Structure 1
């Protein structure tokens, strides 16, 4: 389908994000790649985890001229030993983590009758379990340094009851509960936790697999704003929530969905 012309967004500048140590999961492609780009543009020190080697190396090379060149670390987040090792290595290199963006996910479609116990466990590992254990690893560092920010990425999908996504929606609904619980438990440690809830974002993957002209028309008809949500829109909200401008924001869900109530 033809790409609509979109005016590039000029990000606000948050001086307090300069030199902050930021870890982004699933940072090699899609929304994650824009998060890496946006935080590198703020002068943050960025480490991103992914298994998409080619795209991740290409992104790191493209941003190598940033104030701090983003560092790609290959990590299968469903392997909890590998996850723990990755965070330990970042801690040794960076001396801690200031911001964790739990972005990694996969929204493969499935039919209820086709779901096996093994597939169910895999979908929870891909979309939910790693968010807790990444946060757990980051919290150990954040407590030592007196605070930090954790942003867990959910999805509008379960708010709309989308089709062929029952397991994905189960995980994404749980992420909102996880975020609220963590915010309560960690507030005394000066650690803010929020959930970012993107709508139907125009990513290369979505455009290639599911966002046909008919699907785009359906999405737009259900939104209050008749413009597609771009990856930059999600990154702009994330920059704000990670910054000191959001210092009193915790335990909440923040939507960037153009007011999508379904159609």
Structure 2
């Protein structure tokens, strides 16, 4: 996707992204690097090929740290490693998530705990570490939520519960961290058609039904999340905090 806006304050900034090597996260890594930012990201799968692609494209490589975001000690360690490599953290993007389909009846306590660990707990403790690192210089935290809970979607209740929690957590942390000039916002995408979504969930019938709910009659792509995230990360949104910004082609409304 062609770069449509430039945010000079992101040039040279230290950015940390969870799940920054695939799907939406890979687009975000690319987008921040196009602004001149220094990106570190954690991911469970090997992202060496993606790192090489970014280095060829931008003339420098993002810092990839392989790990599991549900391991809080490992998550904190990678965030500190990124700060050592790129300087004080300016932006945290909590992006990694898992929307595995399930019913209420199928869910077990272990599955519930795992879903919350991936989709909410990791966000909370990444925010905690980011707040520690940003205490002196301020910064921006962006928590990816989802319109799925706003729509009242069935089919993944543990996931929608976590996303509602992300929005509530965002609002509370914005109030708590505001005096330190740390902004905390949520970004709620609509149905972004990553390769995983296309492979696992996107039937022709469901795609048509969802497009029918959108005001804008075009499916969302991972690249559509870049500019909104850059805006929330930059000083262009310097007086915006505690908000949940929806980017869904016009399915749900807020306010």
Which residue in 1 is equivalent to 2:125? 133
Structure 1, unpaired ranges of 5+: 1-7
1:245 aligns with 2:240: no
Structure 1 distance, partners of 2:6, 2:216, is 25
Provide Cα deviations, 1:191-238, integer angstroms capped at 9, x if missing partner: 111000000111111111111211110011011111111111111100
Which residue in 2 is equivalent to 1:213? 204
Structure 2 distance, partners of 1:193, 1:230, is 24
Structure 2 distance, partners of 1:190, 1:249, is 11
Structure 1 distance, partners of 2:75, 2:93, is 14
Correspondence 1:136-215 to 2 at 5 A = 136-144=128-136, 146-215=137-206
SS of residue paired to 2:99: coil
Contact 1:46 1:68 (8 Å CA) reproduced: no
Contact 2:63 2:82 (8 Å CA) reproduced: no
1:119 aligns with 2:111: yes
Structure 1 distance, partners of 2:83, 2:234, is 21
SS of residue paired to 2:236: helix
Which residue in 2 is equivalent to 1:48? 41
Provide Cα deviations, 1:173-200, integer angstroms capped at 9, x if missing partner: 0000010011000111001110000001
Correspondence 1:68-79 to 2 at 5 A = 68-79=60-71
Which residue in 2 is equivalent to 1:5? none
Structure 2 distance, partners of 1:150, 1:170, is 21
Structure 2 distance, partners of 1:23, 1:246, is 19
Count of residue pairs the alignment pairs up? 252
Structure 1 distance, partners of 2:189, 2:150, is 11
Structure 2, unpaired ranges of 5+: none
SS of residue paired to 1:63: helix
1:17 aligns with 2:10: yes
- Please identify runs of 4+ aligned residues in structure 1 that moved more than 3 A: none
Give the CA deviation at 1:10: 3.1
Contact 2:119 2:162 (8 Å CA) reproduced: yes
In the superposition, the TM-score normalised over structure 1's length comes to 0.93
Provide Cα deviations, 1:110-155, integer angstroms capped at 9, x if missing partner: 11111111111010001000101111111111112x2100000000
Contact 2:14 2:83 (8 Å CA) reproduced: no
Aligned match for 1:37, one of 13, 30, 38: 30
How much is the aligned-residue C-alpha RMSD, in angstroms?
1.3
In the superposition, the TM-score normalised over structure 2's length comes to 0.95
